[in-house]
Chain A
Amino acid sequence: MVIGAGLAGLRAAIAAHNSGSNVAVLTKVHPVRSHSNAAQGGINAALSHRGDDWRDHAFETVKGSDYLGDQDAISVMCREAGDAIVELEHMGVIFNRDETGHLGTRAFGGQQKARTFFVADFTGQAILHVMYEQIMKAGIQVYEEWFVTDLIMEDGECRGALAFDMINGELQAVKAKSVILAAGGLGRAFEPTTNALICTGDGISLAYRAGAPLMDMEMVQYHPTTLKNNGVLLTEAARGEGAYLLNANGDRFMSKYAPNMMELASRDVVSRAEQTEINEGRGIDGCVLLDLRHLGRETIHEKLSYINEVSMDFLGIDLAEQPVPIRPGMHYQMGGIKTDVNGATTIPGLYAAGECACVSVHGGNRLGANSLLDTIIFGRRSGEIAALYAKDTADKKISESIIAKEEKRLSEIQARPDNGDSPAKIRLEMGTTMNENVAVFRTEEGIQETRKVLENLRERYASVPVQDKGRIFNTNLFATLELGFMLDCTETIVAGALERKESRGAHTRLDYPERDDANWMKHIVINYTTDGPKIDYQPVTVTEWQPTKRSY
């Protein structure tokens, strides 16, 4: 069983199907509505016959991660990237080409070579739709709009999931010999965020509650170029194609922060630079400017049409005519369910891939265009290994009372009196607090304050009312359950952020401004207990690249 139908989930489903498994995909939205759609810029791979080397890609990923990424996992991802790109092309992805008709590339942040393969600026959508074509071709069963409320855990093993069939309004227990969580990120726990409304950390929370440890949760990426009002993303590909970042004085301020790579330094570096400019009074209305004018209308039309559409729709700004105000915005969760390089969690029968997982290939900061790669590589690997596990596992019983128990829990939630705060109100308070205190710059004081706010919200969450008393397509009930998932996520982010007393990657503590390899070159691992998150550590795997000072 695959939970989630974004790129990681669909790729896992295809891999398991090809390995001879009988696969079901459960997803709370139709596969093509998944948030993989929103990946704009491209997917990285170093192709050796083009004079590139996967080791360079791996090193730059390690450096990008601020040496928190596990180098064995990063090597796996970067080594297998070339074959994955060719495979995607064979599946039908319409990658942009060069003059010779071969795959074209563009430059991306934190990398010296142009190794990002792309489809204009809607690469995620173009790949997701093709992956779904392959699902249709293979005839893999997708249970669309089935909302997973809990994992079925018995004898310490994962044996399936409880899911609410949203259209028929029925709760179902779905048994499976192995389960892959590919349920995506948790962006909605922040406000604003570039993430879709469905990114509510469901998979992360389900695994955490079931006893799987989470890792690197404090590492939350702020993307340097998002719109102020609604957090909508403008791709890094704009800078990859040569766009400038300007402050209120019209200066390309990145020369101060990253004199070599300028606008194409890694995302944490650029976001910190922007926030510093804004904080020191060189911003405009809380923003800096992204300037594409010199790229010309033709390049914008051919390679960046989607972000031009978005700028026109939301701000009425034509990127060929006018710079667009942008600011750092919450974008990606580097951390997640701790897995090995095959997606295996510590729970037998439970696997994880994609944004909800932490292999860890992104460490303290993910490079642009490595997330699509992550989903494709570790989606496939987890699908293959989960299929193997299923083959070797006998059909086991699940207790008959679980449905009745979950029914009771859900109907109690629905039966609450109508006088508490709405889930939307609590989410907004959580999101704005996270965005204020657990953002680009963090302090002990701010994180502690957030912790208190979250404790209070959790108390109020217990009496959140569900106005919709029906069973069919009750988005009110699902919003309430999603809020519960997000509260688990934010609690662990805050615990990790409080614990890590140094600055590394996306985690910048103003009270501990330096990276401290002696004490903190280790992962923070968090386990669920009834008394709250319990902190543990895990060494970082170093194979080839010893940590050095990081500059761009």
Chain B
Amino acid sequence: MEITINVKRFNPEGNNAEHFFQDYTLEVEDYSTVLDALIKIREDIDGSLALRCSCRAAICGSCAMRVNGHAKLVCKTKILDVSTDGSNFITVEPMGNLPVIKDLVTDMKPFWDRIRAVKPWIQPDGPEPTEEYVAPNEAMLHLNGVMGCIMCGACVSDCTVLEIDKNFLGPAALAKAYRFVADPRDAEDHERLRAYSEYGGIWDCTRCMECVQVCPKGVAPMDRIMGLREKAIEIGFDNNNGSRHTEAFNESIRNSGHLDELRLPVKTFGMGGLFVLGSMLNVPAILSNIPNLIGMLPVAIRAFRRGKVPPMIHKKIHGYEKVKNIFEKMESKK
């Protein structure tokens, strides 16, 4: 069949080095992948087209790029699957959130800097055993899922947080971090989770699911980030906005069946103690978070003006006891 591929190009050595789109029309087979087509363009039509590719079998991670706006590993993307509207027209661009070197080749340095930042090597405790470490097979099989990450960068390309905050460690690095926290041989959980809980770490994910969607290897980075959050709270790193936010959600739904939107930001920023009877006042946290709360004021004022302030008195929903039952059942299962 005949298809047209619209490639976003960039020549850093050109007279006016700007991005532009170029159409290539070519014959492909029904089973051809987008990579097959790009290689054909490079070999037969335009030798100057630059892209990275190597294994052709979704294991080397070289060929992540955006196809019709979403990050994909093009060696495992069939043309038929991305031109379903029958137009036989596909747009290919370099990955997002990374600088472009030439055409479809991005600068992976920021990607690897983030990976290095999570200390991505095993740190066991004490002297090495003479034989292997003994570890349950289930734990190793569980790690297979994360170890399957080929570092292609698709998740980083489409991460909506990285788009606005380059300080975020990002899905790939945090999934890699999970691989060590979940590894029974690694003894640095405490220090790792402390570091990952800081600004730019696990609490900066907005749970948009984009990384889960685009990951070509089923690593589900966001789920790993959630796993890290759970472990961080378990281990006691709960004095931060993220874990307080989570706890505030949890508490509100558990007790009333729906979200107390008025108190959510307050609790998130660490003044929960003022409002919840019976809990301890956390004075240092309150003091450190006063600027955050003041920062929320303009939003609160705008909401008030437009009549969007949630009710002062938070009522329980009808049948909230059943919600409570669900919580209790889940907790007993743990």
Interface residues of A, Cβ cutoff 8 Å to B: 29-30, 32-35, 37-38, 49, 85-86, 89-92, 94-104, 119-120, 122, 125-126, 129-130, 133-134, 136-137, 167, 169, 196-198, 229-230, 232-233, 302, 305-306, 309-310, 313-314, 422, 424-425, 466-476
Complex CA gap A282/B120 in Å reads 51
Do A37 and B102 contact each other (CB < 8 Å), given the known contacts A96-B137, A302-B141? no
B58 touches A94 (CB 8 A): no
Give chain B residues whose Cβ lies under 8 Å from the Cβ of A472. 12-13, 101-102
Query: In the complex, which residues 110-124 of chain B have their Cβ closer than 8 Å to any Cβ of chain A?
Result: 112, 115-116, 120-122, 124
Do A38 and B141 contact each other (CB < 8 Å), given the known contacts A30-B108, A92-B183, A466-B47? no
Give chain B residues whose Cβ lies under 8 Å from the Cβ of A169. 13
Give the residue name and chain of the B residue nearest to A87 (CB): B128
B51 touches A475 (CB 8 A): yes
A102 touches B62 (CB 8 A): no
Complex CA gap A86/B185 in Å reads 14
Name the segment of B142-150, B202-210, B253-261, B273-281 touching the other chain. B142-150
A-B pairs with beta carbons under 8 Å apart, 16 shown: A29-B60, A33-B52, A35-B54, A35-B60, A95-B132, A101-B137, A125-B59, A125-B148, A169-B13, A196-B54, A232-B56, A422-B44, A467-B48, A472-B12, A473-B101, A475-B51
Give chain A residues whose Cβ lies under 8 Å from the Cβ of B48. 467-470, 476
Q: Chain A CB within 10 Å — which of B13, B47, B134, B151 has the most? A: B47
Give chain A residues whose Cβ lies under 8 Å from the Cβ of B135. 97, 101
B55 touches A37 (CB 8 A): yes
Do A475 and B121 contact each other (CB < 8 Å), given the known contacts A102-B132, A104-B137, A119-B144? no
Give chain B residues whose Cβ lies under 8 Å from the Cβ of A89. 132-133
Beyond contacts A29-B60, A37-B59, A305-B144: 5 other A-B pairs, Cβ-Cβ < 8 A, are: A90-B128, A92-B122, A468-B48, A472-B102, A475-B42
Complex CA gap A115/B208 in Å reads 44
A103 touches B183 (CB 8 A): no
Do A196 and B55 contact each other (CB < 8 Å), given the known contacts A95-B132, A470-B11, A473-B50? yes
Interface membership of B199, Cβ < 8 A: no
Closest A-B pairs by Cβ, 4 of them = A467-B47, A424-B43, A92-B122, A97-B137
Do A33 and B54 contact each other (CB < 8 Å), given the known contacts A133-B121, A196-B60? yes
A191 to chain B, nearest CB (A): 12
Interface membership of B171, Cβ < 8 A: no
Give chain A residues whose Cβ lies under 8 Å from the Cβ of B183. 92, 94
The number of inter-chain residue pairs (CB within 8 angstroms) is 156
Give the residue name and chain of the B residue nearest to A104 (CB): B137
Give chain B residues whose Cβ lies under 8 Å from the Cβ of A125. 59, 147-148, 150
Give chain B residues whose Cβ lies under 8 Å from the Cβ of A90. 124, 128, 132-133
Give chain A residues whose Cβ lies under 8 Å from the Cβ of B58. 309-310, 313
B55 touches A38 (CB 8 A): yes
Interface membership of B76, Cβ < 8 A: yes
Give the residue name and chain of the A residue nearest to B31 (CB): A229
Complex CA gap A376/B153 in Å reads 28
Give the residue name and chain of the B residue nearest to A133 (CB): B121
Interface membership of B131, Cβ < 8 A: yes
A476 touches B61 (CB 8 A): no
B54 touches A137 (CB 8 A): no
A539 to chain B, nearest CB (A): 38
Give chain B residues whose Cβ lies under 8 Å from the Cβ of A98. 137
Give chain A residues whose Cβ lies under 8 Å from the Cβ of B121. 92, 133-134, 136-137
A473 touches B102 (CB 8 A): yes
Give chain A residues whose Cβ lies under 8 Å from the Cβ of B116. 136
Give chain A residues whose Cβ lies under 8 Å from the Cβ of B102. 470, 472-473
Complex CA gap A472/B147 in Å reads 33
Q: Which of B54, B108, B124, B134 contacts A100 (CB 8 A)?
A: B134
Give chain B residues whose Cβ lies under 8 Å from the Cβ of A471. 13
A38 touches B128 (CB 8 A): no
Q: Which of B56, B130, B133 contacts A197 (CB 8 A)?
A: B56
Complex CA gap A34/B62 in Å reads 10
A32 touches B150 (CB 8 A): yes
Q: Chain A CB within 10 Å — which of B31, B122, B124 has the most? A: B122
Interface membership of B235, Cβ < 8 A: no
A101 touches B136 (CB 8 A): yes
A137 to chain B, nearest CB (A): 4
B152 to chain A, nearest CB (A): 10
Give chain A residues whose Cβ lies under 8 Å from the Cβ of B163. none
Give chain B residues whose Cβ lies under 8 Å from the Cβ of A466. 47
A94 touches B144 (CB 8 A): yes
Complex CA gap A475/B183 in Å reads 39
Q: Which of A29, A37, A94, A134 contacts B147 (CB 8 A)?
A: A94
Complex CA gap A289/B112 in Å reads 42
B224 to chain A, nearest CB (A): 15
B61 touches A136 (CB 8 A): no
Complex CA gap A120/B50 in Å reads 34
Give chain B residues whose Cβ lies under 8 Å from the Cβ of A473. 50, 101-103, 105
A248 to chain B, nearest CB (A): 22
Give the residue name and chain of the A residue nearest to B136 (CB): A101
